[in-house]
Amino acid sequence: MTELRTIVLPEIEEMQRRLISVDNTEYMSSKFYPLLTEYAGREMEILGVVHVLVLAVTIHSEGKPPMFSKVLFMRLPEFVKALIDDEEMRSEILQEMRAIGIIR
């Protein structure tokens, strides 16, 4: 039986700092990032991280034009790079996102 690898997301202050390093607009800080920081400090598997990111984009984009979510989905690799230190785990997360068609 293969052991599933997990990763612990940064604690809330560190997570906020990293997200702000990607996009420091008030809009992202007040509207989108809280959907991600809700999971700060949690341990999860690779697919859990993918799920959190997709869920945040989906919730945030609800009721907005489709292009809104497309732009956020295109930016997901930036957020993964900022949040995930382990290069191998980051690569696996991005690979899963490509496999299910979230990113190219």
Q: Nearest 5°: phi and psi at 13?
A: -65, -45
- Which residue is it, tokens 């930036």? 78
Domain edges within the chain: 6-99
CA angle 71, 13, 35 (to 5 degrees): 40
pLDDT in tens, the chain (104 residues): 556 889 999 999 999 999 999 999 999 999 999 999 999 999 999 999 999 999 999 999 999 999 999 999 999 999 999 999 999 999 999 999 999 999 99
- The rounded distance, in Å, linking the Cα atoms of 8 and 31 is 23
CA 44 to chain centre: 12
Quote the tokens at residue 20.
């702000």
C-beta of residue 86 within 8 angstroms of C-beta of residue 7: yes
Residues in the chain: 104
- Which residues are CB-contacts of 81 (< 8 A; sequence separation ≥ 6)? 90
| Cα–Cα distance, 8 to 41 (Å, whole number) | 6
Q: For the whole model, what pTM was predicted?
A: 0.92
Strands (E), 4-78: 6-8, 43-45
